[in-house]
Amino acid sequence: MTSVSRTLGRCLRETGQALHRFGHQCQDSTLILETFSRHRQLMPLAASAPAVAKDAWVAPSATLVGEVDVSGEASVWYGAVVRGDTGAVAIGKGSNVQDDAILGSGDVSVGAGVTIGHGAIIKSSTVADGSMVGMKAIVESATVEQGSIVAAGAVVMPGTVVGAGQVWGGNPAVYMRDVTPAEKAQLTKSAEGYVALAGSHATSIAA
C-alpha cells in the first residue's frame, strides 16, 4: 500500500507541474515562468541544524548546513555557502557574507559588523568585529583582528595574525599599512549599508 501511495503521489505532483507549465503557455507570452527549485536553504546535519535570528536574512539561493548560527541583522547573500559540518560557524550581529562566499572546514567565528566580500573563502578562522575580508580573498586557519582589512584577492596563510587596524594584501598576504580613519568609517558604513539592503531584499522577496 505504501508503494502504491508513493507512486500515486509522484504522479499527481508531476501532473500538477505539467498543468502549471501548460497554464503559463496558454496565457500572455510576456509572463515570466519561474523554474521550480528543490534547493535547500537550511539543511540539518546529524544532531545540528542552522539557527537564524528572526531579524537576520538568508538569500533564497544561499546554503547553510549543520552547526551554523546567524545573529540578528546579519545577512548571507545569494550563492553563499556556510558549512557547519566539520566545525561550528558563527556569524555576528550586523555582519554580511556576500554572494558566493564560502565559510567552513572547521570552526569559523565572524564577529559583529564584519563584511565578507564576494567569493571570499574563510576556513577554520576568526574574523573579529568591524573587519573586512575583500572579494575572492582566502583566509585559512588564521586570525583577523578587530577593524582590519584583508585586501581583495589576498591569501592569508595558516597561522597568520592580521593585527588590529591593519591592512594586509598579496599572496601570501603581508602587512601593507594601517587602516586610515576614512577606511575605518567606511567599514562601519559598509556593514550598516548591508543591514539596510538585506531588509529591502527580504521585503521584496516576501511580497
| Exposure of 112 in the CB half-sphere (CA atoms within 13 A) | 4
pLDDT 10s digits, 188-203: 999 999 999 999 999 9
pLDDT 10s digits, 57-94: 999 999 999 999 999 999 999 999 999 999 999 999 99
Please report which confidence band the pLDDT of residue 108 belongs to, taking 50, 70 and 90 as the band edges: very high
Determine which of 21-35, 46-60, 133-147, 151-165 has the lowest per-residue pLDDT on average: 21-35
Q: Map residue 62 onto helix, strand or coil.
A: coil
Find, among 197, 18, 80, 99, the residue nearest to 108 by Cα: 80
Chain-centre distance of CA 82, in angstroms?
Answer: 6
Whether the link from the prior residue into 172 is cis, omega within 30° of 0, is yes
Task: Please report the pLDDT score of residue 25 as a whole number.
Answer: 73
CA distance 64 to 43: 6
Give the DSSP H/E element, type plus range, for residue 81. Answer: strand 81-91
Question: What's at 42, amino acid-wise?
Answer: L
Q: What long-range pairs does 132-140 form, CB within 8 A, spacing at least 24?
A: 132/187, 132/190, 135/98, 137/173, 140/105
